[in-house]
Amino acid sequence: MKRRSVVLLTLAAALALPSYSQRPNRQPEAPPAAGAAQGAAPAPAGPPPKVEEKTSTTSHSIQIAGQTVNYTATAGTLVLKKEDGTPTASMFYVAYTRDGVGDVARRPITFAFNGGPGSSAVWLQMGALGPKRVALAPDGTPLPPPYRMVDNEYSILDITDLVFIDPVSTGYSRAVPESTATNFHGYTGDLQSVGEFIRQYATRNSRWLSPKFLAGESYGTTRAAALSSYLQQTLGMNLNGVVLISSVLNFQTISFGIGNDLPYALFLPTYTATAWFHHKLPQDLQSAGLAKAVDESRRYAGGPYQTALFKGDGLSAEERAAVVKNLARLTGLSAKFIEGWNLRIPMGSFSKELLRDQRRTVGRYDSRLEGTDLEAASDQPDYDPSYASVQGPYTAVFNQYVHDELKFQTDLAYEVLTARVQPWSFREFENRYVNVAERLRSAMTQNAALRVYVACGYYDLATPFFGAEYTVSHMLLDAGLRSHIQLGYFEAGHMLYTNLKSLGALKAELAKFYGVP
């Protein structure tokens, strides 16, 4: 198989994981030194490097749901330090706070970030939650350059204050000194630094008594779920809610590999949704509509298909033929292709094969979008057309916005999506899959007020919706807490908010989640 070194928007490290199994660790963590990464190298000898915090504050106004929202935007850096005052990192953020709020203890605040690992928070900030958004076509396809931004009438700034955090080495965030950056490029170092940022921000801005929420996308959901427990156990900070957009809490659900049959079943309903969108299903299933096609696929994937995979070589010839027939019906792929993959179709191979007769591929982040490869006969797509569609617009718009409107001046390159964090360390999960679902269960159990909202895109081939359903249903939550997790579904991809209809629906769902009538 042809392998390409590609920096992915939200799961660069996750898909490279080996096939491990995990047992949950139920022990609370020992509190780390403030601002320090676990296992960090000792500070170099000599005086500490000089680093200063820098902020720019500007005033703005926007119309949301028919009302005028006046707000203050603060773009700046917050320096993390050890208790002796030695700086360890300078973290960039953009905060939006509503003006005229009499009692901030009653005003929710949401800390938001994207994933990667290696992604800045630009996607959620300029696509979904913030007061400005990148202008795209209504279906999420890009407009020709020059790109522009517009007011985001679906921002949640009318509901909650927002703080968008760039983890170390993304955006304008940097380790101090830069030679220590690897201390933050891993599960624990990242968790501790983002947690310390939240503690400092809440303290400096008197937000400890405010209703507090986290919002993450993709690996950002991994971070958010782990933070829900970390903030509680280490800092004594309980949350009111966690928003997970295109979630992955258990990496076994997305790690294709010999010996792990789980992803093949969990990706099947997304294959069906994709085939339905591209008119590749049999007529009866195609005409039934997306919801019915997906429901049939979900039932088959979670029942007969799972059973067949479990049987392995014990599957009879008749049973095998039935599986091939059903998979062909639900994917639009040929029986020969399915047989060739031993009934187990990896995501990349599906993306290449579905539209091969048209010399097209389908996107990973959004399988509605099509790409064109140099060689139609190759076995993997050359690139992800759905990432290519957003990379240029988001990069150009944010760079202009942060300098011209937010007035934050620096000569640093803004790392929208960077390879600087690779390799990402998961040493805490050696010989097992990364799985933070247990940490979320623990946080919800100890804080019964904690609610979770999970947003899923039907056309997301990076973190499929059936995988989110599987993870939630296997958290072993107490029966009285299961209703505290809500799942929402959108006819869009991984970055579901690029579709304008889905963005509006997401805003309506979040308004209910935050308790707005």
DSSP letter, residue 408? -
Q: What is the CATH number of domain 14-21+52-253+391-513?
A: 3.40.50.1820
Nearest-angstrom CA–CA distance, 222 and 191: 10
Asked if residues 440 and 484 have their Cβ atoms less than 8 Å apart, the reply is no
Angle at 332 between CA 329 and CA 338, to 5 degrees: 80
Give start and end residues of each alpha helix (H) in 278-316.
283-288, 290-300, 306-311
- For 201-229, how does the pLDDT look when each residue is reduced to its tens digit (9 = 90+)? 999 999 999 999 999 999 999 999 999 99
| pLDDT > 60? residue 26 | no
Determine the average pLDDT of the residues in 234-258. Answer: 97
Q: Look up residue 235 and give its two tokens.
A: 């800092």
Give the pLDDT confidence score for residue 141 in this predicted structure: 92
- For 413-450, how does the pLDDT look when each residue is reduced to its tens digit (9 = 90+)? 999 999 999 999 999 999 999 999 999 999 999 999 99
Q: 297-329: b or e for each residue (b if 16 or more CB lie within 10 Å)? A: bbebbbeebbebbeeeeebeeeeeeebbebbbb
- For 70-100, how does the pLDDT look when each residue is reduced to its tens digit (9 = 90+)? 999 999 999 999 999 999 999 999 999 999 9
Residue in 249, 262, 255 with CA at minimum distance from that of residue 219? 249
Q: Which amino acid is at 170?
A: T
How does residue 28 score in pLDDT terms, banded at 50, 70 and 90? Answer: very low
Residue in 492, 497, 495, 484 with CA at minimum distance from that of residue 453? 484
DSSP letter, residue 316? -
Q: Which residues pair with 116 in a beta bridge?
A: 11
Mean pLDDT, the chain, as a whole number? 91
- For 119-157, how does the pLDDT look when each residue is reduced to its tens digit (9 = 90+)? 999 999 999 999 999 999 999 999 999 999 999 999 999
* 462 torsion bin: left (phi>0), alpha (psi -120 to 50), beta (else): alpha
How does residue 25 score in pLDDT terms, banded at 50, 70 and 90? Answer: very low
Give the pLDDT confidence score for residue 343 in this predicted structure: 98
How does residue 50 score in pLDDT terms, banded at 50, 70 and 90? Answer: confident
CA distances from 166 to 172, 215, 477 (A): 7, 13, 32
Domain coordinates in residue numbering, the chain: 14-21+52-253+391-513, 262-383
Tell me, rounded to whole angstroms, the distance of Cα 391 from its chain centroid.
Answer: 16
Q: Helix count (H) and strand count (E) of the chain?
A: 14, 14
Give the pLDDT confidence score for residue 224 in this predicted structure: 98
Q: Look up residue 476 and give its two tokens.
A: 């072993």
| pLDDT > 70? residue 165 | yes
Asked if residues 22 and 429 have their Cβ atoms less than 8 Å apart, the reply is yes
Give the pLDDT confidence score for residue 46 in this predicted structure: 61
